[in-house]
Homo-oligomer: A and B are copies of this chain.
Amino acid sequence: MRKKVTLKQLAQELGLSISTISKSLKNDPEISQATIDRVKKLAKEHNYKPNALAVSLKSSKTRSIGVVIPDILNNFFAKILLGIEMEASKNNYKIITVITNESYEKEVDYLDMLSYNGVDGFILAISQETQSKGLVEHFNEILKDDIPIVMLDRVSDEVYCDKVVVDDNQAAKSAVEVLVKQGCKKIGVVSGIHKLSVGKARLQGVKEAFEIEGRELHYLKLRQNSDFLVEISNFLKEHQFDGIIGLDEPSAVSAINAANMLGLNVPNEVSVIGFSNGLLAKHSYPGLTTVSQHAKRMGKTATKILIDKLELRADRYLPDTKYITTSIVKRGSTK
């Protein structure tokens, strides 16, 4: 660590006591203005900064937030992290980032490690494995110790904490609407995230929208290691869709590519809409019309909520779930 000037040294140089220095730097009215000025001048000269470790040990506050991300290669989570980092640093908080790689075990270990390493609170998105197993005890342990958690995107009803989520059901309905409005007769649904809560919510939204219109659901689950392009092109050939909804970004982009491969014009013969406004959506050809979830804003919002709680500005309020509204970003994959 950086060798620092301490209160002790300042005290010695000025022939004052440590506590006088400490108080002066805090503008304590007990101290004379003259002394305060002298102390501050010297402190500035020496570029004095309090030792964060000592302050933390004393106060049991570290001004650091544990951020638990399932998959940083996912652009959505990268954006969320960016939002978190921006808001945290604005408020002078550090973030300690861990990546669970969708593993339950790592999630448990990391939560334990960070909670014992003194983060003031957590912002987290539940890992895929944890979600499919439905385990939540490790979260509740943390909450029991009075360490606040804000859950992001992938949440659990069985944990009583603040949450920031997308209204995926609603978002899915608006995606259906886009395709319906341009006159699609037969719409196929593809998903690479059928195991995730968000994947289920989106599918549910599509189903509900389809039921109202009396449409039949054609649904293709893409397994992790399968060849999306092949699977989707078979699906397309079999059903002759004129519209495809991809419940995640990779599957939607793969749908565009599959159509290209089959020589089908997008959007004239097949329209495609997806979720997440990431790199893939921007760089597909044609560009993907997509439901933007405003990931950066989600990260910022979660951070704001957590910091409010930490600084006791919101202590008395009950846990709340904040819905981030989505918006449609139009690109070339729809008319």
Contact = CB atoms under 8 A, between A and B. Distances in A.
Nearest to A50: B116
A81 to B, nearest CB: 6
A2 interface: yes
Contacts of A114: 94
A54 interface: yes
A285 interface: yes
A145 B2 CA distance: 6
Nearest to A80: B72
A250 interface: yes
A72 B82 contact: yes
Copies of this protein in the complex: 2
Interface string A100-120: 000000000010011111111
Nearest to A146: B3
Contact of A82 (B57, B95, B99): B99
Contact of A73 (B82, B97, B284): B82
Given A85-B98, A260-B260, A52 B116 contact: yes
Interface string A243-287: 000000010011011001100000000000000000110011100
Contacts of A3: 145-146
Given A3-B145, A53-B56, A75-B75, 17 more contacts: A1-B118, A1-B119, A1-B120, A2-B118, A3-B146, A51-B118, A52-B118, A53-B53, A57-B57, A72-B72, A81-B99, A85-B99, A94-B114, A256-B285, A257-B285, A279-B279, A280-B280
Interface of A: 1-4, 49, 51-54, 56-57, 60-62, 64, 72-73, 75, 78-79, 81-82, 85-86, 89, 94-99, 110, 113-120, 142, 145-147, 229, 250, 253-254, 256-257, 260-261, 279-280, 283-285
Lowest 5 CB-CB distances: which A-B pairs, in order?
A257-B285, A1-B118, A97-B97, A49-B116, A53-B57
